[in-house]
């Protein structure tokens, strides 16, 4: 058999994977290996595959992902810190035909924005909340977040989080799953190919449920922050698997009745 | 028996050298280069291109979407 070389394989008819055109050509400002980038890429793929580009409105948070609108080519509105679900409520109520999502870090969603998160879910607003939980305030220098694990070091818990004085890490997905307004609550990851593919399926379900007006969809992505955790990207993913996943187990927490 | 052969094209200048693709590849096709790109990152490249099976796992985990994957059936 004749050997086949790379030039024979790299042809348009053999294309297996290329990034979505909805992900712009701007180089993302995220640190190497940051899960924010992967989450953006997957979301862009879903928007393309579901043909949602012209009817999507995203709400960006304050945090590392504040500039998300530079990377995904859909309409966006920037919210004040923690207020994305309130803004998403307004956008969806005024333009119910739009696919509306918020994209929020754990400082944004689980600290300053706790009230908006809980009440938006409780009202069952017909939006998707995409929650990137990296257990830390990435943008401002790795301060402790409500989601920081017990014993985990951060710039404001240099000896590790102590539950007696700082409280326990908070599981937002489990909390909002208790509210009748949420229809779909799931926890996913982006550090493995299998995890990314599962997140993609979860996002497609959230699109379907929003089309069917089922209520609030809440997708948590347990993610890394190599810079804030002071690890290489590969080390951070390993640390996440060993420490974050046992406390924030992956999988569906609430699924709608068929 | 039909065999699948794959090939990857990596946008060297957009790669941030995070190594996530390297550890994900089931066939040890990829490695980080000793040289760096214009941004100073040790970029990923197909060090062992013949091993690639076109599974796309590397591209699916690449945070920055810089890997394009092709595959063909041979034999
Ligand atoms: C009203 C207000 N308070 C505080 C800040 C400072 N601030 C900016 S980002 C941030 C936390 C971001 O952390 P997180 O939401 O976890 O996102 P990450 O950067 O980790 O993705 C804080 C406290 C601000 N910009 N506005
Ligand atoms: S600081 Fe952390 S969350 Fe922010 S871009 Fe860097 S790795 Fe990602
Ligand atoms: S396509 Fe699969 S086999 Fe080829 S380099 Fe990527 S991960 Fe490795
Ligand atoms: S995963 Fe992407 S950015 Fe990271 S080293 Fe591989 S090609 Fe470069």
**Domain-located, residue A219:** yes
**Domain-located, residue A14:** no
**Domain-located, residue A20:** no
pLDDT in tens, B30-44: 999 999 999 999 999
CATH number, domain containing residue A208? 3.40.50.970
Q: Measured between beta carbons, which residues in chain B are less than 8 angstroms from residue A35?
A: 63
The torsion of the CA quartet A229, A231, A235, A236, rounded to 10 degrees, works out to 30
Average pLDDT of the segment spanning B47-53: 97
Q: How far is CA A198 from CA A59, A134, A186, B18, in A?
A: 23, 18, 11, 22
Task: With cut-offs at 50, 70 and 90, classify the pLDDT of residue A59.
Answer: very high
Distance CA A16, CA B60 (A): 11
CB of A10 less than 8 A from some CB of B: yes
Q: ipTM of this model? A: 0.96
Output B42-47 pairs: Cβ under 8 A, ≥24 positions apart: B42/B17, B43/B10, B43/B12, B43/B13, B43/B15, B43/B17, B44/B10, B44/B15, B44/B17, B44/B19, B45/B10, B45/B12, B46/A6, B46/B7, B46/B8, B46/B10
Task: With cut-offs at 50, 70 and 90, classify the pLDDT of residue A184.
Answer: very high
Partner-chain contact B70 A234, CB within 8 Å: no
Chain A residue with minimum CA distance to B10: A18
Q: How far is the CA of B15 from the centre of ligand 4 (A)?
A: 5
Distance CA A45, CA A175 (A): 29
**Domain-located, residue A24:** no
pLDDT in tens, A81-100: 999 999 999 999 999 999 99
Q: How far is the CA of A253 from the centre of ligand 1 (A)?
A: 27
Q: How far is CA A89 from CA A56, A85, A106, B45, B46, in A?
A: 14, 6, 19, 45, 47
**Domain-located, residue A189:** yes
Name the residue among A18, A30, A234 with its Cβ closest to that of B63. Answer: A30
Average pLDDT of the segment spanning B19-27: 98
Q: What is the pLDDT of residue A2?
A: 56
Portion 21-60 of A in contact with B at CB < 8 A? 23, 27-28, 30-38, 41
**Domain-located, residue A151:** yes
Q: What are phi and psi of A15, to 5 degrees?
A: -60, 130
Residue B40 CB-density burial (10 A; 0-12 exposed, 13-18 middle, 19+ buried): exposed
Mean pLDDT taken over chain B: 96
Number of domains in chain A: 1
Task: With cut-offs at 50, 70 and 90, classify the pLDDT of residue B75.
Answer: confident
Whether this prediction's pTM lies above 0.95 is answered by yes
Q: Is B7 in the pocket of ligand 3 (CB under 6 A)?
A: no
Distance CA A225, CA A237 (A): 9
> Which helix (H) or strand (E) is A237 found in, with range?
helix A233-239
**Domain-located, residue A169:** yes
Chain B residue with minimum CA distance to A6: B7
Q: What is the pLDDT of residue A258?
A: 77
> Would you tell me how many other CB atoms lie within 10 Å of the CB of residue B53?
15
Choosing from A107, A114, A228 the residue with most ligand 1 atoms within 8 A of its CB, the one to mutate for a pocket test is: A107
Strands A56-60, A15-17: pairing is: unpaired
pLDDT in tens, A144-181: 999 999 999 999 999 999 999 999 999 999 999 999 99
Partner-chain contact A4 B5, CB within 8 Å: yes
Q: What is the pLDDT of residue A257?
A: 87
Average pLDDT of the segment spanning B25-32: 98
Partner-chain contact A10 B70, CB within 8 Å: yes
Structural domain boundaries, residue A75: 29-254
The torsion of the CA quartet B53, B55, B56, B58, rounded to 10 degrees, works out to -80
**Domain-located, residue A9:** no
pLDDT in tens, A187-196: 999 999 999 9
Average pLDDT of the segment spanning A56-68: 98
Mean pLDDT taken over chain A: 97
Distance CA A196, CA A234 (A): 16
Per-residue pLDDT at A213 exceeds 60: yes
Q: How far is CA B21 from CA A192, B25, B27, in A?
A: 9, 6, 11
Q: What is the pLDDT of residue B1?
A: 63
Q: Is A81 in the pocket of ligand 1 (CB under 6 A)?
A: yes
Q: Are A91 and A77 in contact (CB under 8 A)?
A: yes
Query: For the structural domain made of B3-74, what CATH number should be given?
Result: 3.30.70.20
Dihedral of alpha carbons A13, A19, A22, A24, sign = negative
């Amino acid at each position: 058999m004749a050997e086949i070389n790379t030039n024979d394989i790299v042809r348009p008819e053999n294309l297996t994977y290329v990034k979505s055109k909805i992900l712009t050509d701007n180089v993302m400002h995220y640190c190497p290996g940051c899960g924010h980038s992967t989450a953006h890429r997957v979301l862009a793929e879903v928007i393309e595959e579901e043909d949602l580009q012209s009817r999507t409105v995203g709400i960006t948070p304050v945090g590392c992902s504040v500039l998300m609108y530079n990377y995904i080519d859909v309409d966006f509105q920037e919210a004040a810190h923690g207020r994305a679900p309130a803004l998403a409520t307004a956008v969806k109520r005024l333009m119910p035909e739009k696919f509306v999502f918020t994209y929020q870090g754990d400082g944004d969603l689980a600290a300053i924005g706790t009230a908006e998160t809980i009440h938006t879910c409780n009202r069952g607003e017909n939006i998707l909340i995409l929650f990137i939980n990296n257990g830390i305030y990435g943008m401002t220098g790795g301060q402790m977040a409500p989601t920081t694990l017990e014993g985990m070091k951060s710039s404001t818990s240099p000896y590790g989080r102590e539950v007696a004085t700082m409280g326990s890490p908070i599981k937002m997905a489990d909390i909002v799953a208790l509210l009748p307004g949420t229809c779909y609550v799931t926890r996913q990851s982006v550090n493995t190919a299998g995890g990314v593919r599962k997140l993609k399926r979860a996002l497609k379900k959230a699109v379907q449920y929003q089309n069917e007006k089922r209520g609030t969809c809440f997708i948590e992505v347990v993610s890394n922050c190599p810079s804030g955790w002071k690890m290489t990207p590969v080390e951070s993913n390993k640390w996440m698997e060993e420490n974050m996943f046992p406390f924030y187990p992956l999988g569906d927490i609430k699924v709608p009745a068929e | 028996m039909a065999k699948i052969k794959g090939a990857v094209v990596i946008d060297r200048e957009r790669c941030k050298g995070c190594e996530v693709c390297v550890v994900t590849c089931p066939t040890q096709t990829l490695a980080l280069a000793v040289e760096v790109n214009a941004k100073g990152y040790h970029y990923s490249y197909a060090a062992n291109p013949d091993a690639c099976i076109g599974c796309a796992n590397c591209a699916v985990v690449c945070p920055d979407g810089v890997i394009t994957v092709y595959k063909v059936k041979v034999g």
